[in-house]
Amino acid sequence: MTENNLKMLIVLFKTQKNLNKHIKKSLVGSGLPVNEFAVLESLYNKGDMTVSELINYVLIPNSSMTYVVSRLVNKEYIKEVNNPKDQRVKILTLTDLGRAIFIKTYEKHYQHMRAQFDQLTKDEEATLVELLKKLGRSLEESL
């Protein structure tokens, strides 16, 4: 591999590292770590789901997801409900408190992250989204 071939990978890793730092910064004062915020965001946007469905959206390993879900249940931001079709499976749902906390936190998060992405024009942002989707699909298919 040549140096140029590695440059894109290095740029992606550095960008991911800095993006994660900005996400954490946007959540300061909310009392929500990134993983908890991600769970609330998924439930808010996608609706009720099981833990295994949630893992596909949030990309947290199963062992960590159990811990995150437990913390959110203890904070009363989400609740576990028995699945009427299969009593062994729990469905996660946002509580009113969880919804309120998410909405309040999301506004600050959105404003902070939007300021970062506004460094790109609308066309550049759309192109970046399409290129990342293309790369992501290719990587997923090759596994």
**pLDDT the model gives residue 84:** 85
Return per-residue pLDDT of the chain as tens, 143 residues. Answer: 456 678 888 999 999 999 999 999 999 999 999 999 999 999 999 999 998 899 988 988 888 999 999 999 999 999 999 888 888 889 999 999 999 999 999 999 999 999 999 999 999 999 999 999 999 999 999 99
pTM for the full predicted model: 0.86
Whether residue 133 lies inside any domain: the answer is yes
Nearest to 26 by CA among 11, 37, 16: 37
| Count of domains for the chain | 1
The domain of 111 spans 31-141
> What CATH number corresponds to the domain at position 129?
1.10.10.10
3 state SS of 119:
coil
Q: DSSP for 4-29?
A: HHHHHHHHHHHHHHHHHHHHHHHTTT
Q: At a CB cut-off of 8 Å and minimum separation 6, what does 10 contact?
A: none
